[in-house]
């Protein structure tokens, strides 16, 4: 008990110790805040990158398109974990907007199914809500903050397009004013919001058969900037021309479209280059009715992607392969060379699966097929009695069952002749960049903790030097070498624990109130620290569930400090008590 007592007293009675506490607190604070914002950005960035990709994307290997997709969709939707499946007809395109030409992509989508299988509908709604929000703010400004003079229809239309989230993002005073206006004019805001939330994108039909309705990415519509700085863009009903570049060698296919709406995913490349048309129109003008280029499959959770992919391809998952190998090991023994080879390959495969960013999607599938082949060949050999082992009847039964299950899986593979990627596979390079960046940032930030560690080391060293006499006294009243060592280790531990707790606490307060802090700073600085047009975000994103990362940061900083305390503490424990006690 004296150790804790003495260590705690040193902490509170020594201003240097308090400096150590502050150092750890600042280190932890910086780490908590920076990592939290970075993680928030990452989440945001992942969503952006994903744009309208669903969990699994099924494409043919070599042909551009395939037919018979309706049956496939029905089969796929019957699989476990599958929520929805939507067909698409994508192609490279030249797009003429106004007088300029852009290269990009056209996407033939089946809207009702598309909104179920991808986030397409979300971007549509978000975009409409944002436009409505901005428009309302503009109107309020023009009218000097007063909404009374604005025509009822205009306001109603704007409010009807706003979801609860959009409404909450309005400036506080505007929210209050809009609410007051709604009350005075007996408009039910909740009903309006519900309507906005359930609004789905819809093609505005064009009566002219020469045109298709089209949704354009928000950036695609921007033609340029006028001299007074305003953006000039296309509007609903304007014409764009889509030229299929995919079939440029077979003769150009041209389709004229009218803008029926726009969407914004936040991924610039996507929003600037993509134009969506009704699937049937695309099939017709490409001359391939009943054909699509890909199927998009949404799952209940992305974590189930490997499982569903294995089902679709008719191959076993790595877990199932592992079970098969385990079974064989019980029959032929662990020393079997074939088995050893399979185990090695499986281990490599598992490492790859955990590191999709480092290897590649398809190597995983190829490796799985390879192990599977080897496994079944081995089972076949044993069953034919060529392997030189005499399995028991029960083992034979087990192997036959495994073989049968494998065969059934293979035959049940709905998309055996297709390439199946996850959305992460599709965006591998970007995701990898983000991942590496985050690692590097974490590594750099770790130095902050390291510096705090060094500070603790030197502070403790100074403390030890100034407490030589105390060490002698403590030994004379029964303190052992271990006891003295613990006192200074505890001193370091207290410094880092108290510091980490303070830092984590303040950090948590900051990230929970990041928006208020941002507002305050912006008012102070007089300009937007976080321009919407640069980031497409209204708010600094933060990690919504920071408990785990805060805990990690605290544990690491405490560990580092503990390591830093070890040397001074050891030094202290070796001090000669007699020497310290001999003199004044």
Partner 1 sequence: MSDFLSVRDLVREYPQGETPLPVLRGINLDVREGEFLVIVGSSGAGKSTLLHIMGLLDTPTSGAVLFGDRNLTTLSEREQSRLRNTLFGFVFQFFHLLPDFTALENVLVPAMVGVGPLAWARRRKDAAERARSLLSQVGLSARLTHRPGQLSGGERQRVAICRALINTPRVLFLDEPTGNLDSRTGQEIQELIEGLNRRDRQTIVMVTHSDTAVKRASRVVRIHDGQILKA
Backbone φ, ψ for residue 417 (5° rounding): -95, 20
**Candidate ranges 56-64, 72-80, 121-129, 466-474; the one touching partner 1 (CB under 8 A):** 466-474
> Is residue 475 part of the contact set for partner 1 (CB under 8 A)?
yes
Rounded Cα distance, 448 and 27, in Å: 6
Quickly tell me which residue has 């299950």 as its tokens: 405
Burial 67-106 (b: 16+ CB within 10 A, else e): eebeebbeebeebebbebbbbbbbbebbbbbeeeeeebbb
Shortest reach from residue 504's CB to partner 1, in Å? 24
Binding mask 14-43 toward partner 1 (x if CB under 8 A, else -) reads x-----------------------------
Shortest reach from residue 14's CB to partner 1, in Å? 8
> Is residue 1 part of the contact set for partner 1 (CB under 8 A)?
yes
Nearer to partner 1 (CB atom), residue 189 or residue 473: 473
> Is residue 99 part of the contact set for partner 1 (CB under 8 A)?
no
Shortest reach from residue 15's CB to partner 1, in Å? 12
> Is residue 524 part of the contact set for partner 1 (CB under 8 A)?
no
Axis crossing angle, helix 318-332 with helix 337-354, rounded to the nearest 10: 160
CB count in 10 Å sphere of residue 568: 24
Give the interface size with partner 1 as a residue count (CB under 8 A): 29
Binding mask 412-451 toward partner 1 (x if CB under 8 A, else -) reads ----------------------------------------
- Binding test (CB under 8 A) with partner 1, winner from 225, 355, 476, 528: 476
Rounded Cα distance, 316 and 462, in Å: 63
> Is residue 2 part of the contact set for partner 1 (CB under 8 A)?
yes
Nearer to partner 1 (CB atom), residue 251 or residue 478: 478
- Binding test (CB under 8 A) with partner 1, winner from 276, 375, 569, 577: 577
At 138 the three-state DSSP class reads helix
Nearer to partner 1 (CB atom), residue 458 or residue 476: 476
> Is residue 9 part of the contact set for partner 1 (CB under 8 A)?
yes
Size (the chain), residues? 584
Shortest reach from residue 335's CB to partner 1, in Å? 49
- Binding test (CB under 8 A) with partner 1, winner from 330, 380, 482, 531: 482
8 Å CB contact between 98 and 271: no
Shortest reach from residue 342's CB to partner 1, in Å? 54
Nearer to partner 1 (CB atom), residue 170 or residue 495: 495
Rounded Cα distance, 510 and 508, in Å: 5
Shortest reach from residue 564's CB to partner 1, in Å? 23
> Is residue 578 part of the contact set for partner 1 (CB under 8 A)?
yes
Q: What is the DSSP string of 336-379?
A: -HHHHHHHHHHHHHHHHHHTTTTS-HHHHHHHHHHHHHHHHHHH
> Is residue 130 part of the contact set for partner 1 (CB under 8 A)?
no
Burial class (CB in 10 A: 0-12, 13-18, 19+), 358: exposed
- C-alpha distances (whole Å) from 583 to each of 132, 472, 488, 575, 578 are 82, 11, 23, 15, 9
Nearer to partner 1 (CB atom), residue 101 or residue 574: 574
Nearer to partner 1 (CB atom), residue 138 or residue 576: 576
Nearer to partner 1 (CB atom), residue 11 or residue 262: 11
> Is residue 503 part of the contact set for partner 1 (CB under 8 A)?
no
For residue 15 the two structure tokens come to 């201003």
Rg (CA), the chain: 33
> Is residue 340 part of the contact set for partner 1 (CB under 8 A)?
no
N- to C-terminal Cα distance for the chain?
28
> Is residue 477 part of the contact set for partner 1 (CB under 8 A)?
yes
Quickly tell me which residue has 């007051």 as its tokens: 180
Nearer to partner 1 (CB atom), residue 276 or residue 580: 580
Rounded Cα distance, 369 and 345, in Å: 11
Nearer to partner 1 (CB atom), residue 14 or residue 52: 14
> Is residue 4 part of the contact set for partner 1 (CB under 8 A)?
yes
Classify residue 230 by its DSSP letter.
P
> Is residue 373 part of the contact set for partner 1 (CB under 8 A)?
no
**Candidate ranges 4-12, 99-107, 108-116, 544-552; the one touching partner 1 (CB under 8 A):** 4-12
- Binding test (CB under 8 A) with partner 1, winner from 470, 486, 494, 554: 470
The upper half-sphere exposure of residue 257, i.e. CA atoms within 13 Å in the direction of its Cβ, equals 34
**Candidate ranges 9-17, 187-195, 199-207, 446-454; the one touching partner 1 (CB under 8 A):** 9-17
Shortest reach from residue 170's CB to partner 1, in Å? 55
Shortest reach from residue 574's CB to partner 1, in Å? 12
Of the candidates 473, 479, 467, the one whose C-alpha atom is nearest the C-alpha of residue 572 is 467
Classify residue 251 by its DSSP letter.
-
> Is residue 582 part of the contact set for partner 1 (CB under 8 A)?
yes
Of the candidates 391, 379, 371, 364, the one whose C-alpha atom is nearest the C-alpha of residue 320 is 371
8 Å CB contact between 541 and 46: no
Classify residue 220 by its DSSP letter.
T
8 Å CB contact between 271 and 264: yes
Q: List the interface residues with partner 1, window 154-213 (CB under 8 A).
A: none
- Binding test (CB under 8 A) with partner 1, winner from 46, 284, 307, 469: 469
> Is residue 478 part of the contact set for partner 1 (CB under 8 A)?
yes
At 171 the three-state DSSP class reads coil
- Binding test (CB under 8 A) with partner 1, winner from 473, 501, 508, 517: 473
Question: Which positions lie near partner 1, rule CB under 8 A?
Answer: 1-2, 4-6, 9-10, 13-14, 469-470, 472-483, 577-578, 581-584
């Amino acid at each position: 008990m004296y150790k804790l007592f003495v260590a705690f007293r040193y902490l509170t009675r020594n201003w240097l110790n308090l400096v150590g506490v502050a150092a750890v607190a600042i280190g932890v604070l910086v780490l908590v805040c920076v990592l939290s914002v970075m993680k928030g950005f990452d989440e945001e960035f992942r969503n952006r990158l994903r744009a309208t990709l669903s969990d699994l994307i099924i494409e043919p290997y070599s042909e551009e398109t395939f037919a018979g997709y309706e049956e496939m969709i029905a089969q796929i939707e019957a699989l476990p974990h599958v929520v929805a499946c939507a067909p698409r007809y994508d192609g490279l395109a030249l797009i003429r907007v106004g007088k300029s030409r852009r290269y990009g992509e056209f996407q033939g989508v089946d809207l009702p199914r598309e909104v179920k299988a991808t986030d397409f509908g979300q971007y549509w709604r978000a975009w409409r809500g944002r436009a409505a929000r901005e428009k309302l703010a503009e109107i309020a400004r023009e009218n000097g903050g007063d909404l009374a003079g604005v025509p009822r229809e205009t306001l109603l239309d704007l409010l009807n397009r706003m979801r609860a989230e959009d409404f909450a993002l309005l400036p506080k005073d505007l929210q209050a004013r809009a609410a007051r206006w709604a009350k005075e004019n007996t408009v039910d805001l909740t009903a309006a919001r519900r309507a906005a939330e359930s609004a789905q994108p819809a093609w505005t039909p064009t009566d002219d058969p020469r045109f298709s309705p089209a949704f354009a990415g928000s950036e695609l519509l921007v033609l340029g900037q006028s001299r007074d700085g305003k953006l000039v863009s296309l509007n609903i009903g304007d014409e764009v021309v889509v030229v299929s570049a995919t079939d440029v060698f077979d003769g150009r296919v041209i389709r004229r479209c009218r803008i029926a709406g726009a969407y914004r995913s936040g991924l610039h490349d996507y929003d600037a280059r993509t134009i969506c048309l009704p699937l049937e129109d695309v099939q017709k003008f490409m001359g391939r009715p009943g054909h699509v280029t890909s199927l998009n499959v949404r799952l209940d959770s992305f974590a189930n992607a490997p499982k569903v992919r294995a089902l679709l391809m008719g191959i076993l998952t790595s877990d199932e392969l592992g079970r098969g190998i385990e079974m064989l090991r019980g029959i032929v023994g662990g020393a079997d060379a074939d088995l050893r080879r399979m185990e090695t390959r499986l281990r490599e495969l598992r490492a790859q699966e955990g590191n999709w960013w480092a290897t590649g999607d398809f190597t995983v599938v190829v490796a799985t097929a390879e192990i599977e082949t080897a496994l079944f060949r081995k089972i076949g050999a044993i069953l034919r009695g060529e392997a030189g082992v005499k399995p028991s009847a029960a083992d034979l039964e087990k192997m036959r069952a495994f073989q049968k299950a494998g065969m059934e899986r293979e035959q049940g593979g709905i998309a055996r002749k297709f390439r199946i990627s996850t959305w992460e596979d599709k965006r591998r390079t970007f995701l990898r960049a983000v991942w590496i960046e985050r690692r590097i940032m974490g590594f750099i930030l770790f130095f902050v903790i390291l510096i705090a560690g060094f500070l603790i080391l030197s502070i403790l060293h100074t403390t030890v030097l100034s407490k030589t006499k105390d060490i002698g006294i403590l030994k004379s009243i029964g303190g052992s070498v271990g006891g003295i060592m613990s006192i200074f280790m505890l001193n370091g531990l207290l410094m880092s624990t108290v510091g980490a707790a303070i830092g984590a606490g303040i950090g948590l307060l900051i990230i929970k109130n990041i928006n208020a802090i941002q507002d305050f700073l912006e008012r102070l600085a007089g300009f937007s620290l976080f321009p919407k047009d640069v980031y497409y975000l209204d708010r600094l994103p933060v990690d919504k569930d920071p408990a785990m990362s805060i805990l990690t940061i605290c544990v690491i900083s405490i560990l580092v400090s503990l390591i830093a305390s070890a040397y001074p503490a050891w030094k202290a424990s070796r001090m000669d008590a007699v020497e310290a006690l001999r003199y004044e």
